[in-house]
Structures are given as C-alpha cells and as structure tokens.
C-alpha cells in the first residue's frame, strides 16, 4: 500500500494524514535510506524514518481555554469557538491548545492530541481529537469511510423548500448534503430567515456553505459565499456543528456527542431550539 496511507499515525510528529503529506513533501521521510514521496509503496520489511530539522523553540506559549464535552483514554470532543483555526502554521490554533485542555492518555501509545477533522475558522461546534497513535489512525479511517454521522444547524436566507438534497460538485468532486427547514421567521432585511438542519453526506471543504449558496440560500453571516447586498456584519457565521454519532473504535460503544446551540441561534428561534433540545434525549 502507499506510504501516505500506511504511515498515518506512525510518527508522533506526523500523526494525521495531512501532516504526513507535508512531511513527504518536505522530504523528511526516507524508506531504506531513500527519500520517500507520495508515490512510494510499502511492501513490508522496510525501514521507515522521519527526520525533522530542529527549529528554535517558540518564545511564546499559547494559553487558550477550551470546553471539553467528552473524553476518555482514546479520544476527546471539545467545543470549537468561532474565530480560530483548527490547525495550521499560525500561533493560535485548536491543535496547539488541545494538550493544555484535555488529560494525557494513560495508554502505551499516548501522544500529543490531534484534531481528526476540521471546522471552518468561523464555524462553531463539536470537534473530535485523538489522544493515542492508534486512535488517531482509527478515527481518520472512520471519517474516510463516512461512518461518523454529522449534524449541523444553520440559519439561511430566503424562502426555501421544506426539505431537499444538494448534489452539486465541489472542486470537481461529487458531493452531497441533505437539508431540512425546521422553522422560519420573517425579516425586513432578509425577507425570511430559516433554521435548517444539515447532514453532509460527503466531506468537501466549505461544502455546506457552498451548497447552500448554490441554491441561492446562503448562510447568514457568510461573507465568502453570500449575496453582496445581504451580508450580515459583526454577528459571525450562523453555522454550528451540533453533533457527532459513531461507534467508538476501541470500546465499541455507540457515542452520541453534542454541543449546545450558540446564543445567537436561540435569540432568533427560541421556541424551536427549546423544542429540539427537549426532544433530544440522547446522552453520552
């Protein structure tokens, strides 16, 4: 199999698929003393080495409290606030703040916790992280196999059909999202605002935002995929990753993890959101 598939979770300094790709691109990985690439195949018995040049230690330490929704020895779920990247080459990211907010695993392959999926900079909601090398690899596999059910809520603009499926391609790749309008209110500026439940059936970048824009019902507060004269400034993006449901890859327990609605959602749809929360009796 390809090294870039086999090697996910193999090294503490390149635990995720994206981190492994970066290491390959920077020529940090060798196989039997030969520089590896994304085209390198592994047959078994090879010696795989990761060598990262030493950098000067940063003088600043990130201090960023996070709300922990769930954790055990294998994984953790946290609330991602708006206005912060999940990962990247910037000082302030969720990835860099995880270690100070969740407990270190007691298992033999414990490692620095790593996010195993992404949420946009402006999106709020539940984010999953792995705490061991094996769990990071297993959770990545669950996402790739699409066996983790994700539910989002958004506030959209305009009169929409009650329910529908959007199947437009994103970056020339097939993508699919299901939406259901749960409640609507009249608005002088926007005509109508809708509380919409969203279930992405694929995982493309900015998928929900692009899909809703493609049917002329952009998400409220979306400055990138919005209608120019209907841009809402100063309130943030009304897109929230509400829940994740999946079978725990190690304990085999079915987990249903959820993150409460932001206050700005509750102000627009107080009774409907209260109803959703009352009926959502699932727990960890």
Q: Which of 33, 120, 222, 260 is catalytic?
A: 120
Could you give the CA distance from residue 260 to residue 12 in angstroms, rounded to a whole number? Answer: 32
**Which residue intervals of 26-116 are DSSP H helices?**
94-97
Our CA angle for 25, 85, 15, nearest 5°, is 40
Tell me the two tokens of residue 19.
């981190």
120 catalytic per annotation = yes
Spatial CB neighbours of 228, under 8 Å, sequence gap ≥ 6: none
Type and span of the H or E element at 211: helix 207-214
Could you give the CA distance from residue 151 to residue 178 in angstroms, rounded to a whole number? Answer: 10
Block residue for tokens 């107080």: 270
Q: Please, what sign has the CA dihedral across residues 91, 92, 93, 95?
A: positive
Q: Could you give the C-alpha distances from 247 to 8, 89, 125, 148, in angstroms and in order? A: 20, 32, 20, 8
Q: If you ran DSSP here, which 8-state letter would residue 176 be given?
A: -
- CA of residue 267 relative to chain centroid, distance: 25
What residues are labeled active site?
Answer: 120
């Amino acid at each position: 199999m390809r090294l870039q598939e086999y090697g996910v979770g193999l090294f503490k300094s390149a635990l995720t698929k994206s981190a492994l790709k970066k290491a390959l691109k920077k020529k940090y990985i060798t196989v039997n003393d030969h520089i590896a690439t994304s085209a390198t195949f592994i047959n078994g018995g090879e010696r795989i080495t990761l060598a990262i040049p030493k950098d000067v230690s940063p003088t600043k330490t990130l201090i960023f409290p996070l709300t922990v929704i769930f954790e055990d020895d294998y994984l953790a779920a946290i609330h991602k606030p708006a206005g912060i990247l999940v990962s990247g080459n910037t000082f302030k990211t969720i990835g860099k703040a995880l270690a100070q907010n969740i407990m270190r695993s007691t298992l033999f392959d414990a490692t620095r916790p790593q996010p195993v999926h992404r949420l946009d900079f402006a999106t709020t909601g539940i984010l999953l992280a792995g705490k061991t090398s094996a769990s990071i690899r297993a959770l990545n596999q669950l996402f790739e196999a699409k066996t983790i059910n994700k539910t989002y809520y958004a506030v959209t603009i305009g009169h929409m059909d009650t329910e529908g499926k959007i199947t437009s391609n994103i970056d020339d790749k097939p993508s699919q999202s299901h939406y259901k309008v749960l409640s609507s209110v009249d608005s002088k500026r926007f005509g109508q605002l809708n509380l919409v439940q969203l279930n992405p059936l694929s995982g493309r970048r900015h998928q929900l935002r692009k899909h809703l824009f493609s049917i002329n019902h952009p998400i409220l507060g979306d400055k990138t995929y919005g209608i120019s004269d209907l841009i809402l400034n100063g309130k943030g993006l009304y897109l929230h990753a509400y829940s994740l449901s999946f079978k725990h890859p190690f304990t085999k327990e079915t987990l249903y993890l959820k993150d409460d609605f932001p206050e700005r959602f509750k102000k627009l749809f107080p009774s409907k959101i209260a109803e959703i929360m009352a009926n959502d009796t699932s727990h960890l």
